[in-house]
Amino acid sequence: MPVPIEFYLDNLKITQQLEDKVRAHFEDWTHGHHDIANIYLSLKQVSGKKSVNDYEAKIVLYHRPEHIIVTHRSPAIPEALTAVVHAAERKLRETRKLYKDRRRRARVDPAID
């Protein structure tokens, strides 16, 4: 069953090619795994005098047992999206490895009475 993916672009536009690239990354993350229930991507222009030309991209992975939230700011939309996708992928990989190691240790190290 495919994982629902939500995009919130706050009246900003991204190319279809960039959206397809992001969706492909998301599908790669979920292929063969059942630990992600939903994916939310938000892109907005940051307000304020110093940051008027900055864009903030945010990904929330509704991941079991802990959610993963990653944000990145950049002066260009494609850079912000690419950086946040790579950061989320890195964090997801680290989290999966951590839980895999915990399960492995639990099986290998029996409780000593």
Domain borders along the chain are: 5-107
Share above pLDDT 70 across residues of the chain, in percent, rounded to a whole number: 88
Task: For residue 67, give every residue at least 6 positions away whose Cβ sits within 8 Å of its Cβ, in sequence order, or none.
Answer: 60, 61
Mean pLDDT on 84-113: 79
Mean pLDDT on 22-50: 87
Mean pLDDT on 4-27: 90
Class of domain 5-107: alpha beta
Q: How confident is the model at residue 112 (pLDDT cuts 50, 70, 90)?
A: low
Long-range interactions of 85-92: CB distance < 8 A, separation 24+: 85/22, 85/25, 85/59, 87/59, 88/59, 88/61, 89/25, 89/29, 92/29, 92/61, 92/63, 92/68
pLDDT, tens digit (0-9, with 9 covering 90-100), for 50-78: 666 889 999 999 988 889 999 999 999 99
Q: How confident is the model at residue 113 (pLDDT cuts 50, 70, 90)?
A: very low
**Between 48 and 83, where is the model more confident?**
83
- Across the beta sheet with 55-63, the strand order is 5-8, 36-45, 55-63, 68-74
